Amino acid sequence: MKQTIAYILLLLGFVTTLQGQMAMDTIQLPEVKLMESKLIAHTIGTQMDVIKIATFGEGSSSDLASLISSSSSVYIKQYGALATPSFRGTSSSHTLVLWNGVPLNSIANGLTDFSSIHTHNFTDVLLVHGGNASVFGSGAVGGSVHLNTNLNLIHKNAFSLSTTSGSYGLKSESLAFSISDGKLSAMGSLQFLSHTNNFEFINTTQLGHPLVTNDYGKIKSKNQQLDLAYTLSPHTNYSFSYWASQQDREVPQNMTTPFSDAKQYDKAKRALLTLKHKVNHLSITLKQAYLQEDFRYTEFLKNINSHYLAESYISDADVKLIKGNYLFNLGGAFTANNLANNNYVSMGKQEKSLAAFSALQYRSDFLAFNTVLRKEWQTTFEVPVMPTLAFEAQLSSVIKFRLKYNRNFRSPTFNDRFWAGAGANGNPDLTPEDAWNKELGFDVNTKKAHFTITGYTLNISDMIVWQQMENGNWIPNNIKQVWSRGVEAKAKFKIKELSIAGNYAFTRSTNELPTNKLDNTVGEQLRYVPLHKGNISFTLNKDNLQFSLSTSYNGEVITNHSTPNNKTLDSFTLTDIAIRYSFEKLPITLKGKVKNLLDKNYTTYQNYPNPGRELLLTINYTIN
C-alpha cells in the first residue's frame, strides 16, 4: 500500500512541474504524435526491433518463429507442434503478443504459438525487449511482440497471387489485394498451406541410429485477413480488422516413441473496430475487439480429448493530450473473458476485469521522459499498481542514452486456477507474478550505421510453477524466483549495395530460490536458456536482384540439472540463403530460399528432430 501512495505522489509531482514549465515551452510537437499507436507513444527508454515484412504479397510461407529467430536475438524454443519465444531468459508465457494493440495470448494457458502465426499479412512486426506491462498489461514481462497492419503504408492498388513449393511436401498458395482511394483503404489476403513434413532424420535414440522419415507431422492451415480504413474527415478515422485462422496438425512425439495419434486443431477469429478522432491537441482512440479461440487436442490412445472455447471482449479507450513538449495519456480497458473447457470442474468460467492507465511524457530534441502508472482490477486476485519510469537523452548528434525502470506482472491463467483432471488441479489462490525490470542502453545512429547496446536486470518473484505434489497431483504455486540479467547488442550498416545486420544476446538467467529443500539449482542457469544467441545477415541489392545470407548461432542449453554434469543440448549454427529476382518487363517476382544450407542436425528440445536442408521456391505475380 505504501508503494502505491508513493507512486501517486510521484505522478502528482510531475504534474506540478508540468504546470510550472508549460508557459515556457513554445515548441509544438508534430500532430502525428497524436495519431501514433500506444506502442510508439511509449517507446521512450525501450529497446525495440522493427521487422518490416518483405514486400506486399510475398513471404507467404514464413512463420513468425523463423522470422524472429533469424532477425533478432530472441531465442525460439521449438518442440512438437509448438514454437514459443524467450525474451531475456524468461519463459514462454512471459512474452505478450499483440495484434494491432490487442492482446492475443491464450486466456487458457497464457501462450501464443509462433509456429501457427504466418507473417503474410502484417505490414510490420515489432519486438519490444523488456517488460511493458504498465502499458499493455499481463504477460509483457520479458518482452512483447506487436503484429501490425498499417494501412497508411498502402499507396497503390495491387492484386497479387503467390505460390510456394518446398521440401518435404510444403505447398502454399495465397492471394492478396490492396486498394486505396485516399479515403478508403483496404487490404486483404487468403492463404492456404499444407506441409507433409516428411523429413528424414537420424534417430539417435534407437539401436544402430537408423535414418528414419518423420511420418507424423502433417500441417494444414488456412488464413484470412481483411483490413479496412476509412478517413471520414481530417479529424476522424475508422478502421476495421478481421483475422481468421485455422490450423490442423499432427503433433509429433519425441523420437523415442514409435507412434502417436496426437492431433491439435486451432481455430481463431479476431475482429477489431477502431475509431480515432482528434481535435486540436486532443486525440481519442476507441477500440472494440472480439477474440475467439477454439482449441482441441486429442490423443485417443491416452484417452485425451481436451477442448476449450475462449472468448474475449475488449473495450479500450485512449486519450492523448499534447501541450507543448508534454503528452498526457489516459486510458482504460474493460475486458470480459469467457472460457468453456472440458477440463475444468465446472465447464464455463467468466471473468471481467478493468484497467486504468495514465502517463505523462516530456519530449524535446534532447531529452525525453515517460512516467506511467497502470492499475488493474480483477475479481479473484489483486494486481498491484504497475509503474514505469523512462528517460532518454541525446548525448550528441549521434548518441542517445536510454534508461528504464518498471514493474511488470503476469496474471495466473484460467488453466492455472481452474484446471481439474488428468492428475492436475488448478490453484484458485494464485496471485500474479511480480517482475521488476531495470535497463539502460546507448543507441548510435549515423547515416550509414546503427548500433545499439542494452544492459538489463530483471527480477521475477512469485513465479507460478506447476509442481508434482507428494500425492502425485500437479498443482501450480507462486514459488519461484528468477533473476535474469544480460546484454543485448545489435548493429546495422551499409556498404554501397551491401547491408549487414547483426544481433547478439548474452543472457544469464538463474534460479534464486529453492523450490524444494533438495533443490540444487539455486544460482544455476535456467533450463532451455542459452547464454549466447546471435545472428548476422548480409543482404546485397543490385538492380532487380537481391541476395541474402544469414547465419544464426544458438548456444548450448541445459535440459536437466544433474551432478556431476548437467544434461545439455549442443549449440548449433544455422545458415540460410535467399535470392529474389523481379523481372523488369513482367509482373513476376521469383524467390528462392535454402534453409539450413549446411544440412546441420540440431535440436532445440530434447529428442525432437528438426529437418535438414530445405528448399523453397516462390513465384509471385502482382499487378498494380
C-beta closer to other proteins: residue 357 or 414: 414
Q: Smallest gap, in angstroms, from Cβ of residue 339 to other proteins?
A: 13
Q: In whole angstroms, how close is the CB of 557 to other proteins at the nearest point?
A: 13
Segment 508-514 long-range contacts (CB within 8 Å, at least 24 positions apart): 508/89, 508/484, 509/88, 509/89, 509/90, 509/482, 509/483, 509/484, 509/485, 510/482, 510/483, 510/484, 511/480, 511/481, 511/482, 512/459, 512/481, 512/482, 512/483, 513/479, 513/480, 513/481
Residue closer to other proteins, measured from CB, 171 or 561: 561
Grid coordinates representing 509?
A: 538467467
Minimum gap (Å) between residue 216 Cβ and other proteins: 14
3-state helix, strand, coil in the chain (%, to 5): 10, 60, 35
CB of 464 to other proteins, least distance (A): 14
Residue of 43, 15, 13, 3 lying closest to 404 (CA atoms): 43
User: Rounded to the nearest whole angstrom, what is the least distance from the CB of residue 594 to other proteins in the complex?
Assistant: 30
Q: Which is nearer to other proteins, 404 or 527 (CB)?
A: 527
In whole angstroms, what is the distance from residue 589 CA to residue 586 CA?
A: 8
At position 355, the amino acid (one-letter code) is A
Judged by beta carbon, residue 3 or residue 205, the one nearer other proteins is: 205
Min dist. Cβ of residue 599 to other proteins (A)? 22
Residue 470 CB, nearest approach to other proteins (Å): 4
Please give the residue ranges that form the binding site for other proteins (CB under 8 A). 80, 204-209, 253-259, 301-304, 344-346, 420, 422, 425, 428, 467-472, 515-516, 518-521, 527, 559-563, 565, 567, 605-607
Question: Measured between alpha carbons, how far is 500 from 538 in angstroms, rounded to an integer?
Answer: 5
Could you tell me the smallest distance in angstroms from the CB atom of residue 173 to other proteins?
34
Q: Is 181 helix (H, G, I), strand (E, B) or coil?
A: coil
Q: Give 251 or 385: the residue with its C-beta nearer to other proteins.
A: 251
97: buried, middle or exposed (CB in 10 Å: 19+, 13-18, 0-12)?
A: buried
Nearer to other proteins, 224 or 515 (CB): 515
Residues whose CB is less than 8 angstroms from the CB of residue 257 and which lie 6 or more positions away in sequence, other chains included: none
Nearer to other proteins, 262 or 368 (CB): 262
Task: Say how far apart CA 254 and CA 581 lie, in whole Å.
Answer: 39
* Closest by Cα among 249, 185, 188, 251 to 223: 188
Pick the closer one to other proteins by CB: 420 or 619. Answer: 420
